[in-house]
Amino acid sequence: MAAKRDATATAAAARGRRSKAAANGQANDGTLLSIGELAEMTSVSTRTIRYYEELGILPTPERTAGGTRRYPREYVFYVEGAKTLRQLGFGLEEIAELGRFAPTGAAASKKTQAILEEKLAELEHRIRVLTRLRELVITATSSGRGKTSHGPDLLRWVSEQGGS
């Protein structure tokens, strides 16, 4: 009975070390990550990892003799970068286009340049809108009691921006 408890405790400790290693970005073998470890480290599902591979956002990973995917640590960069670009309004196809040049360091194609120029214009517009919104919120929150409220100005401006 004691031997069974020891074996169970040893197995649990090994699982804990593997889990802690994955959380710290270290693979079981010290160099490569499993699909589950990569998914856990980047807070996406394994299905998302596979989908990113299909789209070309992630380079095709190495596989073991048994066919298991093994990912170098820099794949965390690809997944995190894709997540950030999604938050900034890039579509998956656009991210895949940008991703074609990341591993090679080659010059961007005309298509990629066009995507980047369009996104730059969109980002600059969003920055202008957010800057103006920030100014209006500061003005609305700094108006004291008894003074004219700037809340209506803020609401009017926000409703006007809905179409742009």
As a whole-number percent, the residues of the chain with pLDDT over 90 amount to: 34
For the record, the structure tokens of 134 come out as 């920030």
Residues 50-72 have a mean pLDDT of 92
Report pLDDT digits (tens) over 116-143: 898 899 889 989 989 988 988 888 788 6
Min mean pLDDT across 54-68, 102-116, 139-153 is at: 139-153
Report pLDDT digits (tens) over 82-100: 999 999 889 999 898 887 7
Looking at residue 20, its pLDDT comes to: 42
Q: Three-state SS across the chain?
A: CHHHHHHHHHHHHHHHHHHHHHHCCCCCCCCEECHHHHHHHHCCCHHHHHHHHHHCCCCCCEECCCCCEEEECCHHHHHHHHHHHHHCCCCHHHHHHHHCCCCCCCCCCHHHHHHHHHHHHHHHHHHHHHHHHHHHHHHHHHCCCCCCCCHHHHHHHHHHHCCC
Looking at residue 30, its pLDDT comes to: 56
User: Is 107 or 43 the better-scoring residue by pLDDT?
Assistant: 43
Map out the domains of the chain with their CATH numbers. Answer: 1-107 (1.10.1660.10), 108-164 (no CATH)
Looking at residue 18, its pLDDT comes to: 42
Looking at residue 19, its pLDDT comes to: 42
Q: pTM (2 decimals)?
A: 0.60
